[in-house]
């Protein structure tokens, strides 16, 4: 475990479980909920902010941020790092991110495994990369430079996509995993994005999830999407659908107690509605955890499936939950 | 076909971007089609999403403009602006800054002076809203300065202060739309007036400045001394009245929270 990641963990969390301590269930913080969250202090393990919303000189948004940060751990989630672009990394943007990082001491900093523009342009969208060795080398090298600059491992999130390239030599999940391994970065697994891309590109989303190493996943995103008939589009404007919930169940079984949150970016409902939706995630997680004999056993079970004899030897002296299970 | 080099990746990205911006077809040969959807249908998800995303950002930045223009006109000039200004901003927050000058120069919108006015006004409000933080200068801090020394005072503006020139009654229209009230009839004046925007308690406030106040405000904002303001005002009002008026303006700006500090020139 890199020392710089421990610096980002909330008070004492890394002492319990280096780098993988889950913060439980959270929400993407949106301005429309500032007042409600501040007044009602809902039981949320953490909040994820959209970094770009706070890359501003001052004023009310940063004031809200500081106030809510006093009550909740926060993760910084970016949409414009453009890690896969062939344009040079934007050093001004990185400096701004670093200022925000110092201000709120986030648990994690994340962005997407994609590009957003080239030749100085920005399409404000999460655009898919070709999954080739050249793109892999390009992205991994840039991730390492970003991590060096921020003094922290970052999380890369898989994106929803509508196109793929016939000359890709790797699957999306092979590409994601190899980037993470080569750059030694972490993964933000967006279960809805896996589902959206699986429908659009006709693959089995469970194969994707099963290929992702358990120990690199720190965060899970859930969201709603729009079914347009031919393609489905990641819109974050509605409730999470059943197939995504089922896939989340599969993810929980594989990855165990990973910090999970819901993103809503359009037609944002009252906070209570999102909290109810988050309770659904909690209940699925609780059911899976019960089936797999207690919280945190999911990760152990995944490891166990790979090395059954070692797992048997480890169980008696393992964590409290593992002993309970035994 | 294989992508072996960053140059090939760059070329693919340029082709992809060219499709999103103006439907240049080169990328279609590089995208996988399937029975589910052909290459163009797939690329169109991105190409259609791009202007919508920017329109949404413009609507969020310019609610008053949306209210006075109406949905159809806003869509019209919004799409025109987006086509003329491909985004080069990493952060959508800064995308719409050139909308006022687009509206001021682009027919038929330029014929409706209130459109560019409202855009200018709302952009100034937004940049005041999230402008840099600083303590506002308090009246009491000036108490320590000997009145004899006042001519040597220079002030610095609070970083969230903005001023804009408006020829129409867009400030009233803005207030009406924010309160959900009926919009007033548009009125355009021959001579534009200067408006001052300040931020107190994280809230943006705005008011129209009198002609002489605007004159001395520009002096103050450019770093001129109190003596220089008085001299500028003196040409309008006479020496004695100028000093009184300059003190009046200063008192108003202190109450507005428009100042962040002062310096005293060496005697």
Dump pLDDT digits (tens) for A273-322.
999 999 999 999 999 999 986 545 545 555 444 433 333 332 322 333 33
Q: Cβ atoms within 10 A of the Cβ of A15, count?
A: 10
Which whole number is the average pLDDT over B230-250? 91
What residue spans define the domains of chain A?
A: 3-291, 295-326
Does A64 reach chain B within 8 Å, measured CB to CB? Answer: no
Task: Please answer whether residues B128 and B198 qualify as being in contact, where contact means their C-beta atoms are separated by less than 8 angstroms.
Answer: yes
pLDDT of the residue at B7: 80
Whether residues A167 and B2 touch (CB distance < 8 A) is answered with yes
Taking the C-alpha atoms of residue A267 and residue A262, their distance in angstroms, rounded to an integer, is: 14
* Average pLDDT value for chain B: 95
pLDDT of the residue at A299: 55
Homologous superfamily assigned to A3-291: Divalent-metal-dependent TIM barrel enzymes (3.20.20.150)
Tens of pLDDT along A122-162? 999 999 999 999 999 999 999 999 999 999 999 999 999 99
Whether residues B87 and A123 touch (CB distance < 8 A) is answered with yes
> Considering only CA atoms, which of A191, A257, A186, A250 is closest in space to residue A221?
A191
Task: For helices A60-69 and A91-104, give the axis angle rounded to 10 degrees.
Answer: 50
Res. B93: pLDDT tops 50: yes
**What are the structural domains of chain B?**
134-267 (3.90.930.50)
Does A166 reach chain B within 8 Å, measured CB to CB? Answer: yes
Query: For residue B151, what are the CA distances in angstroms to B144, B236, B245?
Result: 14, 18, 14
pLDDT of the residue at A8: 41
pLDDT of the residue at A305: 44
Tens of pLDDT along B170-226? 999 999 999 999 999 999 998 999 999 999 999 999 999 999 999 999 999 999 999
Name which of A85, A120, A134 is nearest B5 (Cβ-Cβ): A134
Minimal Cα distance from A133: which residue of B?
Answer: B4
Q: What is the pTM of this model?
A: 0.88
Nearest CA-CA distance, residue B38 and chain A, Å: 10
Which whole number is the average pLDDT over A223-243? 91
| Percent above pLDDT 70 for chain B | 98
Which whole number is the average pLDDT over A42-55? 97
Q: Which of B1, B2, B3 to mutate to test the interface with A (most CBs of A within 10 A)?
A: B3
Res. A19: pLDDT tops 80: no
* Average pLDDT value for chain A: 86
Q: What ipTM does the predicted assembly reach?
A: 0.92
Res. B144: pLDDT tops 50: yes
pLDDT of the residue at A237: 86
Task: Please answer whether residues B63 and B179 qualify as being in contact, where contact means their C-beta atoms are separated by less than 8 angstroms.
Answer: no
Q: Residues 274..303 of A with a Cβ closer than 8 Å to B: which?
A: none
Taking the C-alpha atoms of residue B79 and residue B62, their distance in angstroms, rounded to an integer, is: 14
Res. A324: pLDDT tops 80: no
């Amino acid at each position: 475990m890199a020392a710089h990641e421990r610096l980002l963990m909330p008070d004492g969390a890394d002492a319990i479980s280096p780098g993988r301590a889950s913060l439980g269930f959270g929400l993407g913080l949106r301005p429309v909920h500032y007042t409600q969250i501040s007044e009602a202090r809902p039981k949320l393990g953490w909040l994820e902010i959209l970094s770009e919303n706070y890359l501003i000189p001052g004023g009310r948004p940063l004031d809200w941020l500081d106030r809510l940060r006093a009550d909740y751990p926060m993760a910084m989630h970016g949409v414009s790092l453009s890690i896969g672009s062939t344009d040079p990394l934007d050093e001004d943007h990185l400096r701004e991110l670093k200022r925000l990082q110092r201000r709120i001491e986030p648990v994690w900093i994340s962005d997407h495994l994609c590009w957003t523009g080239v030749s100085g342009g920005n399409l404000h969208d999460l655009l898919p990369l070709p999954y080739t060795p050249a793109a892999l080398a390009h992205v991994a090298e840039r991730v390492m430079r970003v991590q060096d600059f921020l003094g922290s491992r970052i999380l890369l999130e898989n994106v929803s996509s509508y196109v793929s390239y016939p000359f890709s030599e790797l699957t999306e999940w092979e590409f994601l995993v190899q980037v993470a391994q080569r750059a030694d970065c972490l993964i933000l697994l967006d279960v809805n994005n896996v589902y959206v891309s699986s429908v659009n590109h006709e693959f089995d989303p469970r194969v994707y999830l099963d290929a992702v190493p358990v120990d690199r996943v720190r965060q899970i995103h859930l969201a709603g999407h729009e079914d347009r008939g031919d393609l489905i589009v990641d819109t974050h404007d509605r409730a999470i659908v059943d197939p995504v919930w089922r896939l989340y169940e599969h993810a929980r079984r594989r990855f165990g107690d990973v910090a999970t949150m819901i993103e809503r970016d359009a037609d944002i409902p009252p906070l209570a509605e999102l909290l109810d939706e988050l309770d659904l995630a909690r209940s699925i997680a609780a059911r899976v955890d019960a089936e797999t004999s207690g919280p945190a056993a999911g990760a152990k079970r995944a490891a166990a499936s790979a090395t059954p004899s070692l797992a048997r030897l480890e169980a008696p002296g393992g964590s409290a939950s593992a002993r309970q299970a035994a | 076909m294989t992508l072996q080099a960053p140059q090939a990746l760059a070329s693919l990205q340029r082709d992809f971007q060219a499709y999103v911006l103006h439907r240049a077809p080169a990328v279609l040969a590089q995208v996988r089609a399937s029975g589910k959807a052909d290459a163009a249908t797939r690329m169109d998800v991105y190409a259609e999403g791009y202007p919508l995303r920017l329109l949404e950002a413009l609507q969020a930045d310019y609610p008053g403009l949306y209210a006075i223009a109406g949905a159809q006109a806003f869509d019209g000039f919004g799409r025109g602006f987006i086509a003329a200004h491909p985004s080069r901003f990493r952060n959508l927050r800064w995308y719409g800054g050139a909308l006022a000058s687009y509206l001021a120069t682009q027919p038929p919108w330029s014929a409706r002076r209130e459109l560019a006015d409202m855009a200018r006004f709302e952009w100034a409000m937004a940049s005041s809203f999230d402008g840099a933080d600083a303590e506002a200068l308090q009246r009491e801090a000036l108490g320590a300065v000997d009145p004899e020394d006042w001519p040597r005072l220079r002030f610095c503006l609070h970083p969230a202060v903005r001023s804009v020139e408006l020829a129409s009654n867009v400030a009233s229209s803005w207030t009406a739309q924010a309160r959900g009230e009926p919009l007033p009839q548009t009125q355009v004046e021959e001579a534009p007036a200067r408006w001052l925007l300040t931020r107190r308690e994280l809230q943006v406030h705005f008011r129209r400045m009198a002609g002489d106040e605007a004159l001395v405000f520009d002096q103050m904002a450019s770093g001129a001394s109190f003596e220089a303001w008085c001299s500028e005002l003196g040409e309008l009002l006479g020496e004695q009245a100028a000093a009184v008026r300059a003190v009046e303006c200063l008192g108003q700006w202190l109450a507005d929270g428009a100042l962040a500090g002062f310096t005293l020139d060496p005697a």
